[in-house]
Amino acid sequence: MTKISLGMKGLYALAAISLAISLLAALGLIMVHYRLMTVDSELSSISLKISNLEDRVIELGESLSELASNKSQQVIVVEENITAPERVYELVKDSVVMIKALTVVTTFFGKSYRPVEGSGFVYDKEGHIVTNYHVVEGAVRVEVYFPDKSMYEAELVGADSYLDIAVLKIDARDRVLKPLTLGNSSKLKVGQPIIAVGNPFGFRGTLTTGVISQLGRLLETGSSKRPIPDLIQIDAAINPGNSGGPLLDYSGRVVGITNAIWSRTGEFAGIGFAIPSNIVSKVVNSIITTGKYEHPWIGISGIDVNPEIADLMNLSKPAGFLVIYVAPGSPADKAGIRGGTKTVRLSNGLEIKIGGDVIIGIDGVEVLGLGDILAYLEEKLRPGDETTLTIIRDGREMKVEVIVGKLPT
């Protein structure tokens, strides 16, 4: 047997080799562990991304489901709208009447009789019929015709020439009257679809459709001594003979009475007007109960504030109603409301008095002009009620309490 002697150098060499092998092995383990940790981290990241994608897919699915639901609802609404006029007509057709009035006209050659036709609707089961005042103004005989052509002679219960509303009454004990339901005109929106039913040019029971073009219009008419406030502007076709007929929403509720058109030729030009149902209800109920309607009144006149007036009076914005004149002894006079004091000529040549109070609110409701004041008075207040006017006086905002009076006749 051969013996191998390593000596001290050999031992050191073996130890070094052994240490190197151990270090390499340890380093390999570390590298493997690091790689495993890296892979684990990458897997965690991928898992998180997958989880996020799953959540996103769920959200997307919910959104698509909601979109599909909304689309289905929209289709239902459209289908309802398509058939709504037909359903409404069936609901109201027996309650819309034709009114024929024989009026006296005085001419150069003396008195003559002139027939007038209009529309109206059944208000209650007691036989009250609502129409426009200008349809029966000066009439010596009024007849009410139902769709079945049955005729009833009517008596005038009362009328209001300012708001163009009249109430008739017929004795119709031989038939079942079907009153129409009044809606809340304060809930109307621009763009809302509406239906007009009446008798244009004598064509009985004519239905037209359209939308509400605007709200709160102020309009002067020949029958009124002052503007009619808060009118509903519509684009549904109405013509002579429609006056007094109901304006309906798609539920068949009366939201107004058609009473006027704006036209340069006398023919319908896409602009019609209706008296809002909230005013109609207030006036008609008063006429049925007392035979008349007393208008709330505070006794002022003036002009809507425009940019030129706002500049002259150092107002922050061109809004409100400038009081020029206060009637002596009126509610406004008793409350201390001030009229104009300084005469100026505007750029359009109009002379006005500035320096008076500027009304910018009534009972907390913003006032942009006279129309807002008249609309609030007619819809919300009665003679004897107290109201709070917000005014600007000498550059300062203040509040004034006013006891509403009755419009002098």
Structure tokens given for 303: 């002009």
Closest CA to 249 of 19, 68, 31, 81: 81
Which one of the listed residues 243, 277, 281, 330 is annotated catalytic? 243
* pLDDT score, position 74: 33
How remote is the C-alpha of 327 from its chain's centroid? 33
pLDDT tens digits, one per residue of 2-29: 344 444 444 444 444 554 455 444 445 4
* pLDDT score, position 108: 78
**Residue the block writes with tokens 């690091």:** 34
* pLDDT score, position 63: 45
Which one of the listed residues 119, 128, 160, 164 is annotated catalytic? 164
Domains of the chain: residue spans and CATH: 94-169 (2.40.10.10), 185-290 (2.40.10.10), 296-406 (2.30.42.10)
- C-alpha distance from residue 405 to each of 295, 327, 332, 374, 390 (Å): 8, 12, 9, 13, 18
Strand partners, 141: 102
* pLDDT score, position 143: 97
* pLDDT score, position 5: 43
* pLDDT score, position 122: 98
pLDDT tens digits, one per residue of 93-137: 999 999 999 998 887 788 888 999 999 999 999 999 999 999 999
* pLDDT score, position 54: 52
- The answer to whether residue 134 is catalytic is yes
The alpha carbon torsion through 363, 365, 370, 376 (nearest 10 deg) reads -70
**Residue the block writes with tokens 């699915």:** 61
- The answer to whether residue 65 is catalytic is no
Which one of the listed residues 95, 119, 128, 134 is annotated catalytic? 134
Which long-range contacts link 29-32 to residues 24+ away (Cβ below 8 Å)?
A: none
H/E element, 76? helix 7-92
Burial class (CB in 10 A: 0-12, 13-18, 19+), 37: exposed
Structure tokens given for 239: 């013509």
Strand partners, 166: 131, 159
Max CA-CA distance within the chain?
166
- C-alpha distance from residue 217 to each of 165, 246, 359, 370, 404 (Å): 17, 18, 19, 11, 23
Structure tokens given for 222: 């020949």
Name the stretches of the chain with pLDDT < 50. 1-16, 19-20, 23-27, 29-30, 32-34, 36-39, 43, 46, 48, 50, 57-58, 60, 62-82
Please answer whether residues 129 and 121 qualify as being in contact, where contact means their C-beta atoms are separated by less than 8 angstroms: yes
pLDDT tens digits, one per residue of 218-241: 987 655 567 889 999 999 999 999
Strand partners, 104: 113
pTM, two decimal places: 0.76
